[in-house]
């Protein structure tokens, strides 16, 4: 992929409804399957990760059909899930593997979860060990430093209630435990060191589960059924972050993100943009499964450097790649990101990928075990290896808007298909809107 944009051209103006939220889409499909009955869902995220969850549920006997933006789910409930005929391929989706591991740990059959080369390297001890404390029988492979990795062989067992400290602020870990407890019909208390995304808790409560949240403690009681989710999934603020960053960094830009998820645990990136100097406002429109949805309006400005500490990371971990790009190409001063060692075990080692990529474009970057520091300045052209990581590929596509020369991105084939298949089309449309407006101006 070769990108050529003039440094003066990235002004973005327009309205845009982001694709459906990926985190909510995974959970909506899973809870529809567990609750049973027939349900209609609209605007699920169109990326390959959500398709992986849908395919996995089909392998377990759930009927899922897609007609455009309309998804139909028919299931007889958690008790009717059946043993898969073959190992379940989770593709590149860590969410699919980790959440379904919780469900399958409580199902009375054997199953195997595997994935692509990237997913097979990602850490699974964080879910395997707490699930084992509940009585789950899960075996994996031995990875680096004794880490458990996939494929995961799961032999369904009778689980028991427990109080579990997760040791890491991870919505996927917390969700795996809650799903295991609900499927098994046992109580559980989950304690996190920091508050992570709370989509699972919100959705469970909205659907009728007896769940209480007090700070970083979540308690689920045993024995209650849930209703299936239905309706239209709000837009994904993480997918929108790439375009929001480009708009925020260019004075004169104004981007309206329509019908987007407004969950506070997902808006750390937008709060940070406001602290950096951009104008960010929101308009609430509706509720869906315990979540607020509405419009986010981003107006561009000259941005200042920022600092991210460990306590900030859970609310903006997915947006750090594009924040690093903006720090290098559009901010005044030295920005610093710390407490983000989690980035090293994503689809790629994102700390390393960002460091190498930004240096290739002329940025001054200092790398730490848990983050990096970036001097604001100007970017020139260069060659970037996205390492088949969708967020790295899309972040450096935004870097092309600020660079003075062409940016060539390798290792990006089909990367955007993971979460935003229409990424290039949508970005081009927003840039074209600005250019058409400019040509009409006197």
What amino acid positions are annotated as catalytic residues? 318
Residues 6+ apart with CB under 8 A from 181: 134, 159, 161, 187, 188, 220, 222
User: Torsions phi, psi of 282, nearest 5?
Assistant: -135, 150
SS3 track for 62-129: CEEEEECCEEEEEECCHHHCCCCCCCEECCCCHHHHHHHHHHHHCCCCEEEEECCCCHHHCCCHHHHH
Whether the bond into 315 is cis, omega within 30 of 0:
no
End-to-end CA gap in the chain = 35
| DSSP summary character for residue 228 | P
Rounded Cα distance, 128 and 69, in Å: 34
Rounded Cα distance, 68 and 348, in Å: 31
β-bridge mates for residue 232, sequence order: 42
Q: Is 247 left (phi over 0), alpha (psi -120 to 50) or beta?
A: alpha
| DSSP summary character for residue 412 | -
Burial category of 127 from C-beta neighbours within 10 Å (exposed 0-12, middle 13-18, buried 19 and up):
buried
Rounded Cα distance, 149 and 142, in Å: 6
Residues 6+ apart with CB under 8 A from 240: 16, 18, 257, 260, 296
H or E stretch covering 218: strand 217-220
User: For 231, what's the count of Cα atoms within 13 Å in the CB-facing half-sphere?
Assistant: 15
Measured from the Cβ of residue 2, the count of other Cβ atoms closer than 10 Å reads: 10
Residues 6+ apart with CB under 8 A from 379: 328, 329, 358, 361, 362, 363, 399, 402, 403, 404
């Amino acid at each position: 992929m070769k990108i050529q944009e003039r440094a003066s051209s990235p002004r973005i103006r327009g309205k845009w409804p982001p694709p459906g939220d990926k985190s909510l889409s995974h959970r909506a499909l899973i809870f529809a399957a567990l609750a049973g009955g027939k349900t209609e869902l609209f605007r699920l995220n169109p990326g390959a990760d959500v398709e992986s969850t849908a395919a996995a549920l089909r392998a377990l006997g759930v009927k899922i059909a897609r007609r455009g933006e309309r998804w139909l789910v028919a299931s007889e409930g958690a008790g009717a899930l059946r043993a898969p005929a073959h190992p379940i391929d989770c593709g590149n989706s860590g969410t699919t593997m980790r959440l379904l591991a919780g469900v399958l740990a409580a199902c009375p059959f054997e199953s195997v979860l595997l994935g692509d080369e990237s997913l097979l390297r990602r850490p699974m001890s964080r879910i395997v060990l707490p699930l084992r404390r509940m009585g789950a029988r899960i075996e994996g492979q031995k990875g680096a430093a004794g880490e458990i990795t996939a494929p995961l062989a799961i032999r369904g067992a009778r689980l028991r209630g427990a109080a579990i400290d997760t040791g890491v602020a991870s919505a996927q870990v917390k969700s795996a435990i809650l799903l295991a407890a609900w499927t098994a019909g046992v109580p559980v208390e989950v304690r996190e060191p920091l508050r992570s995304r709370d989509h699972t808790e919100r959705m469970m409560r909205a659907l009728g589960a007896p769940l209480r949240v007090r700070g970083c403690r979540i308690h689920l009681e045993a024995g209650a059924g849930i209703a299936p989710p239905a309706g239209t999934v709000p837009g994904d603020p993480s997918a929108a972050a790439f375009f929001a960053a480009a708009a925020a960094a260019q004075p004169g830009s104004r981007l309206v993100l329509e019908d987007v998820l407004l969950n506070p645990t997902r808006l750390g990136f937008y709060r940070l943009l406001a602290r950096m100097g951009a104008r960010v406002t929101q308009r609430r429109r509706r509720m869906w499964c315990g979540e607020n949805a509405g419009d986010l309006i981003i107006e561009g400005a000259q941005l200042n450097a920022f600092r991210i500490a460990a306590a900030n990371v859970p609310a903006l971990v997915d947006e750090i790649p594009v924040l690093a790009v903006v720090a290098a190409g559009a901010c005044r001063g030295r920005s610093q990101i710390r407490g983000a060692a989690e980035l090293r075990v994503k689809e790629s080692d994102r700390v390393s990928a960002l460091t190498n990529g930004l240096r290739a474009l002329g940025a001054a970057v200092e790398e730490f075990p848990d983050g990096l520091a970036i001097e604001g300045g100007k970017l020139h052209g260069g060659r970037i290896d996205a390492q088949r990581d969708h967020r790295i590929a899309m972040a450096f596509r935004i870097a092309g808007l600020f660079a003075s020369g062409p940016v060539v991105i390798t290792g990006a084939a089909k990367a955007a298909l993971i979460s935003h298949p229409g990424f290039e089309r949508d970005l081009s449309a927003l840039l074209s809107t600005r250019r058409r407006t400019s040509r009409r101006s006197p």
